[in-house]
Amino acid sequence: MVTPREVERIFREAGAFREGHFVLASGKHSSWYLEKFQVLQWPVKTAMLCADIAEWASRSGRSLAPSTVAGPTTGGIILAHEVARQLELRAVYAERTLGGRGREFRRGFELGSGERVLVVDDIMTTGGSVQETLDAVRATGAQVVGAAVLVDRSGGAATLDVPLHALWTLDLPTYAPADCPQCAAGVPLTKPGTTPAPVAR
């Protein structure tokens, strides 16, 4: 098993643990951002992290016993694929609905009634993306047996109604925009994922 200290080291060495003023996918603001793609760009490191999730699912025995692994777009695709590969299962991906509310399975993905599904994702702040994926699985009639994330940055405050495994848990404060101290101080806001990579010369 990988320890939380090892996960932290991987994120820090990859330059994925960033300080600044960020708006998160949840809409909340934070002084810290975990850029998971700086880690996920390294297949060997990704496989090592996913091995911990796969081991947890296997160690749980019949209480989990998934037959399928599901993840939300975008980072969850990579994790679902690798965890499923290691467990020798199939992987499916939940995308934003065309209306922008919740998630759904498209591209011909089908889940059978009662099919046992493990949901995986990268970073959990409020649990919104994970919960949307749980809801999408249940909407098909399938059963969610558990969830796993690389990082729970809520410090355990984000709760789900299924067994949850987080490789690294830390408490990073988040703020509604109206309550954000950095906004009040006039610190420029960054929306991660919108800044183009520098052009090599």
Per-residue pLDDT of 103-117, as tens digits, reads 999 999 999 998 999
Smallest CA-to-CA distance from 15 within 43, 51, 40 is with 40
Return d(Cα 117, Cα 55) in angstroms, integer: 16
Task: Report pLDDT digits (tens) over 139-194.
Answer: 999 999 999 999 999 888 888 999 999 999 999 888 999 999 999 999 999 998 75
Span 116-128, pLDDT tens digits: 999 999 999 888 8
DSSP secondary structure string for all residues of 13-77: HTT-EEEEEEE-TTS-EEEEEE-THHHHT-HHHHHHHHHHHHHHHHHTGGGT--SEEEEETTHHH
pLDDT for 87 beyond 80: yes
Task: Please state, as a whole number, how many other Cβ atoms lie within 10 Å of the Cβ of residue 136.
Answer: 26
Contact 21, 182 (CB under 8 A): yes
The pLDDT tens digits of the residues spanning 11-65 come to 999 999 999 999 988 889 999 999 999 999 999 999 999 999 999 999 987 889 9
* CATH numbers and ranges of domains, the chain: 4-17+39-172 (3.40.50.2020)
What single-letter amino acid sits at 17?
F
DSSP label of 26: T
